[in-house]
């Protein structure tokens, strides 16, 4: 599509199949604190797309008799132990991102994860060098669903958000992208059963490649 000159990508749940790893780590930490596995797996779905502050607030509600910050630190540690075994990619992501890079599309990752984790995980999958920059959650004043991360990402490419496509899995992420003025496509990953998608005018796709193709950025 001629009016799209840059592409902005969420990371966890879109490029990397890490939300399921995070869910398993969440169960590891919640069950010793009295939360049944089924309840923990269901509760985790409400954390998808959140940042460190929103996750801490949700943990305080879920664990009123425990130290939420201590539980959050334990969850991060459990996730890091699991991810050390290998960082999983979503289906078709490497081929899609490498094809966009070969076609000359400037690309930035816009993630709620901290820079150290984003650089490590993208590097471990071989994706890091395809991206011009990363906008991490620890380097913005306002996290998703605020538009700041996507405005920042477009700016790093020297573009207006309206010149960029944004690809997201979470509701918070697509809200941020649309509020920034990007052309956004939502590719859902883990979400509560039956939860409606926000009606923001975003496109929808089942895979990242389908999302990219829907905007005419790659041929079949």
Active site residues: 10
Q: Can you read off the two tokens belonging to residue 78?
A: 């459990």
Q: Residue 202: is it exposed, middle or buried by C-beta count within 10 angstroms (0-12/13-18/19+)?
A: buried
């Amino acid at each position: 599509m001629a009016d799209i000159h840059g592409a902005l990508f969420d990371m966890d749940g879109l490029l990397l199949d890490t939300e399921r790893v995070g869910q398993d780590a969440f169960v590891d930490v919640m069950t010793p604190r009295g939360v049944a596995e089924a309840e923990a797996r269901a509760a985790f779905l409400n954390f998808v797309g959140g940042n460190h502050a929103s996750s801490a607030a949700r943990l305080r509600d879920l664990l009123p008799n425990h130290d939420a910050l201590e539980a959050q630190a334990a969850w991060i540690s459990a996730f890091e132990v699991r991810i050390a075994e290998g960082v999983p990619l979503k289906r078709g992501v490497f081929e899609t991102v490498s094809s966009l890079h070969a076609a000359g599309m400037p690309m930035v990752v816009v993630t709620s994860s901290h820079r150290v984790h984003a650089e490590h995980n993208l590097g471990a999958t071989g994706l890091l060098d395809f991206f011009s920059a990363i906008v991490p959650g620890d380097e913005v004043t306002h996290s998703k669903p605020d538009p700041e991360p996507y405005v920042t990402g477009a700016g790093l490419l020297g573009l207006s958000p309206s010149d960029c496509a944004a690809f997201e899995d979470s509701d918070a992420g697509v809200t941020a992208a649309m509020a920034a003025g990007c052309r956004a496509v939502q590719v859902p990953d883990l979400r509560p059963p039956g939860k409606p998608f926000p009606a923001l005018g975003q496109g929808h796709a089942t895979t990242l490649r389908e999302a990219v193709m829907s905007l005419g950025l790659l041929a079949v």
